[in-house]
Each structure stands twice: as structure tokens, then as C-alpha cells.
Structure 1
Amino acid sequence: CKVLNWYSSFEDVRNAYQKALVKTLPSSSHTKDPNEHWEQIAEAMRACCEQACSDGAVQLRQNWISVTSINLTNKRLSILPGSEYDDDRRELKRKLTESLRKDREQSKEMERTFSSRKSRRFFFLIRGCTGRRVGVSVTIYEKDGSLITSQSRRLDRWAEHFEEQFSWPQPGHVDDGTRLVSYCVPDGPLSEAEMVLEFKLLKRNKVASSFQGWWGEVDVRTDKTPPDDLRDFIPVFKKRARSLCDNHRGIGLVSVVSNLLTGLILRRLAKPGESQIREEQAGFRSARECIDHIFTLRRILERQRLQTAVVLLDLKAAFDSAAHHF
């Protein structure tokens, strides 16, 4: 039951188990003894569980120390008795002690990162310990719940999902009284000082990717034709069922050149846009993060000591409401 409950969190394994169980469960008409019938049911459940787990390519981890420590332990146990093997035994003991010490240090580091709320580093350490990699589910469903069996339709469904996420339908009617704001944004060619600043702000130890092939062929500013590298989205699973597209978020794997261009445009728009943004908006502005606003709100509530109703508005898709067409 413990193994079955652990595997039930994987949707593919659970579906395979249920399908095999429907075909394997014995009928009550074959025997009149309830104990014998129950033994047949239990045997069918165990067989279906083993079949589903083997087909799901998921391995249950039995040891919670590193693979190096496990191999050293097994190798040390395989040494033959006798004084002539004492040197080998001492050498393996020294290596095993060092490996276990590293395992303890890693566990302490995981505790420290969890306590300090460094979630990225914490989950990186967890993935290094488990040794299990879960890929993107190849089984997805349509909006009406029907299973997609065609590979081409599966790709089209992902394209539709991301187009709905990053796009918005054209407005049927535009109000003539809409206030138009003119921004004084510099739109001249890129300067050397701007490029040097963007290079300094890039994150270190990142893969540069191959951008030399299209650097001289595509001019995004004049031709308005982005390369194909900027249009690739990778679905990343969030939670719940993997077969639903809504439970994945898209990440665009962009190159260093596109990061430079994006950062330069952002810094050109930041100063003129700051004067047009409402004071209540936060989270994406310098010195006006969400934590700062929460701290200010808490101080006001503590000083006033009045009954207060707080309304938190979650604006859809973080203002991604422009009509894009891929």
C-alpha cells in the first residue's frame, strides 16, 4: 500500500494502474469462498501495481545518502577477511567517512536554505539528492476533456494554449475619449555606453547560446522581424495534473542578444513611464516592491488600530493584455 500510494501521485502511472486493474480483477462468480476471492483481488492489485510502476519509468528511492557513499559501503562489505586486506579496508573507510561528511554538510545546507527561504537553492539541492528527472507529459487533453492522440494536434494545442496566455482579443470598440499620453522615449541607435551597461547587468554563469548566425542578418529595430529563437516556448509544470495545459507556464528560452535588447528597451522606457504610473502600483518598480507596500500597510494598521478591510487585486497575466498574433 505504501508503494502504491507513493506512485499514485504520478498521473501516467495511476492511469496505467487503473486500466490494468479493470482487465485483471477476477469475477466473483469464479469462487464462493470470500477469503479465496480476496486473495485473488490482492494478487491482481499487486501485479497491476508492479506493471504500472515498471512501465512508468519511475524508481522508488530506498537510500537517502549519496550514490558514492552507497557504492563505497558495498565495496567495503565485499572485502575478504584477513590482515592482508587491512590497508584496503582502512582506505575505503577513510573515503566513506569523507563521503558521509559531505552528505551531512549537504543536509545542513538544505536546512539553512529552507530556513532562510532561498527556495531556488533549496529545490536545486533536493533535485541533486533525489536523482529523479520528471519530463513534460506527452499526454494532454483538449478543452472539452477529450484525449489528444495525434502528435501534430498535440503541438497545435500547446500553440493555442500559449497564444491564449500571451494574447488578448482585439477590442470591439475603442472609446474616443481615451486619454492618449505621449512619452518622450529616446529611439535612436544603440550607443556603446548603453551596451556596456547591459553587459555589466547580465547574469553570470549562463549559457550564451548560438546567436552569431543571425546577428548580422536580422535587425529587429528596423525590420521588425524577430528570429525564430525568440519564438520558442518551453512548458514548465506548476502543479496538479500534468495532462492539462493550464497547469503549465511557458518560458521562452532567449539568447544573450535578446536579453541585451530587452534590457535596453526596458531602461529607455523606465524613466518616462515612472511619471505615468499610479502610486498604488508596486512590485515591478524600484524601491516600491510588494514587501515595501506590505510593511507600510502593516505600520498604518498598527498605528491607527481601526477595523480595516484589505482587498488584494490579482490582475490577470500581469498586464499581458496586448493583442499578439504568432
Structure 2
Amino acid sequence: MRKAKESWIEQQCQDLEENLSSNNSKKAYQLVKDLTSTKQGRATTIQDKEGNCLTEEQDILKRWTEYCSELYNHIADVDQEILDVPPATNTDNHPILREEVEAAVRSLKKGKSAGVDNIPAELIQAGGEAVINTLHTICKKIWQTGNWPTPWTQSLVITLPKKGNLQQCQNYRTISLICHPSKVMLKILLNRLKPQAEAIIAEEQAGFRAGRSTTEQIFNLRILCERYLQHHKTSTMSL
């Protein structure tokens, strides 16, 4: 193992010299980062609830399935009357417009990981009129029936290691990757809900609103505290 590690380091150093000589600074920096990193790598075993180490791939997958099921199946105690909605009707007074689909496709962010369908956002944007027409047809059907395609309801869970014992599932950060085509429909729904939400959200609410920031509110509050102290006033407020 020691010889293999030394051989790997020598190979990395050779690659580093070649990248530096060819002015490939990005690759050279990444090699230096890999060689000098002190972070723990991903563990090859996972512990179950009793603390027993699982080494078989199927057992590890079952443990992750169990952990994620418990993590995302939390039952919240809420007032059901708030969640009551009027029954759905078959009338379609506001169909999905093609312009909405085009705007949603343009708003997709590039460089994002694909979901279970392995379709990146760049492929959708490069599809042209054919992809726009297909997505428009699918979105209209979802709007009329309320039924989503099965792959659009699935997500790919990625685990990123944090600090602590990496044999324990709770020491990983989970990220869900959804299909990019489903983001088109979600963006359309979000754009339609925003005007409705603006009429409900309080004026002082700044989080998750365009053109507003909670940092601005904190800054204004600090300015008020400084002006208050400048006039030799005492305050019980502390930040």
C-alpha cells in the first residue's frame, strides 16, 4: 500500500509538471488541492441503527433507503383546515401558454447535474422548437389532468460527506437531483403563484423575494442602533 501510494503521488506530480508547462493552471491547481487536502474521503462501509458495519453493496443501499425514508417522511402536525382547497374542476380557463414554456426553458441554469433521466439543461435548451413543442404538450396535459410523468416525480439522492464519523448516515449532507424537464413545469407554476403570494406576504417579509434581502434589513437595524447610541441613549437590544 505504501508503494502504491508513492507511485500515485509521483504520477500526480508528473501530471502537475505537465500542466504547469502547458499553462493549464486550472488542472494544476486541482492536482495541488488533491495532494494537499486533509479532508476525509467517503467511507466504504456504513453503520446500521445498531452500529454494525455494513460492507455489502445491497446492504448499504438498503441502509441509505431506510435513512432517507425516515428523513423525508416526517409527519408534521398542522391545521388541516388551512390545507383544504376547493375541489378541482374540468374547466381550463388558464391553459399553459407556449411563451411560458419558452421562458421557463431559457431560465434553466447551465452546469447543473441531471436527474434520473440523465438529461442536462443544456440539452433541453439546444433542442430548439421540437423540444419546446413536446414540453408544451406535456405541460398542458399535466395542467389538465393533474398527473405528472413518473420520472418527473423521482429524484436522485446524492450524499456529500461532512465532519465526524463517515460510517454514520447522519454525517452526510443529502442533495436531491430532480429531472430538468420537470423544472420547466415547476417554473411555470412558480411564476403563476408569485403574483398571488405578493398579495398575501407581509411587507416586512424579505426572504426569498426578488429585489429584497434580509441582509439589508439587518444593516438598517444596525444603523438604527448606532444612531440610537450616538444620541447617548441606552438600549436593551443587542445584536
Q: Same fold (TM over 0.5)?
A: yes
> Are residue 241 (structure 1) and residue 170 (structure 2) matched?
no
Amino acid of the structure 1 residue aligned with 2:151: D
Does the 8 Å CA contact 1:136/1:235 hold for their aligned counterparts? Answer: no
Paired residue secondary structure (1:253): strand
Does the 8 Å CA contact 1:66/1:129 hold for their aligned counterparts? Answer: no
- Structure number with the higher strand fraction is 2
Task: Kindly state the Cα deviation for residue 191 of structure 1 after the two structures are TM-superposed.
Answer: 0.7
Paired residue secondary structure (1:233): strand
Question: Could you tell me which residue of structure 1 aligns to residue 232 of structure 2?
Answer: none
Amino acid of the structure 2 residue aligned with 1:67: D
Question: Could you tell me which residue of structure 2 aligns to residue 289 of structure 1?
Answer: 213
Question: Could you tell me which residue of structure 2 aligns to residue 255 of structure 1?
Answer: 179
Question: Quick one: which of 88, 106, 115 aligns to 1:200?
Answer: 106
Task: Kindly state the Cα deviation for residue 252 of structure 1 after the two structures are TM-superposed.
Answer: 2.4
> Are residue 161 (structure 1) and residue 67 (structure 2) matched?
yes
Alignment CA distance shift 1:60-1:161 (3 Å) = same
Alignment CA distance shift 1:181-1:286 (3 Å) = farther
Alignment CA distance shift 1:287-1:203 (3 Å) = same
Alignment CA distance shift 1:68-1:154 (3 Å) = closer
Alignment CA distance shift 1:140-1:308 (3 Å) = same
Alignment CA distance shift 1:161-1:276 (3 Å) = farther
Aligned residues: 207
Amino acid of the structure 1 residue aligned with 2:218: I
Alignment CA distance shift 1:181-1:175 (3 Å) = closer
> Unaligned stretches of 5+ in structure 2?
87-91, 125-130, 230-234
> Are residue 298 (structure 1) and residue 222 (structure 2) matched?
yes
Question: Could you tell me which residue of structure 2 aligns to residue 130 of structure 1?
Answer: 33
Task: Kindly state the Cα deviation for residue 257 of structure 1 after the two structures are TM-superposed.
Answer: 0.8
CA distance in 1 between partners of 2:221 and 2:8 (Å):
47
Question: Could you tell me which residue of structure 2 aligns to residue 275 of structure 1?
Answer: 199
Does the 8 Å CA contact 1:61/1:130 hold for their aligned counterparts? Answer: no
CA deviation vs aligned residue, 1:32-91 (integer Å, no higher than 9, x gap): xxxxxxxxxxxxxxxxxx66x96xx7988579977252x59xxxxxxxxxxxxxxxxxxx
Paired residue secondary structure (1:203): coil
Amino acid of the structure 2 residue aligned with 1:224: N
CA deviation vs aligned residue, 1:123-149 (integer Å, no higher than 9, x gap): x98545435798643311223433234
> Are residue 151 (structure 1) and residue 74 (structure 2) matched?
no
Question: Could you tell me which residue of structure 2 aligns to residue 308 of structure 1?
Answer: 237
Identity of aligned residues (%): 23
> Are residue 228 (structure 1) and residue 151 (structure 2) matched?
yes
- TM-score, normalised by the number of residues in structure 2: 0.63
Question: Could you tell me which residue of structure 2 aligns to residue 189 of structure 1?
Answer: 95
Larger Rg: 1
Question: Could you tell me which residue of structure 2 aligns to residue 67 of structure 1?
Answer: 15
Alignment CA distance shift 1:150-1:265 (3 Å) = same
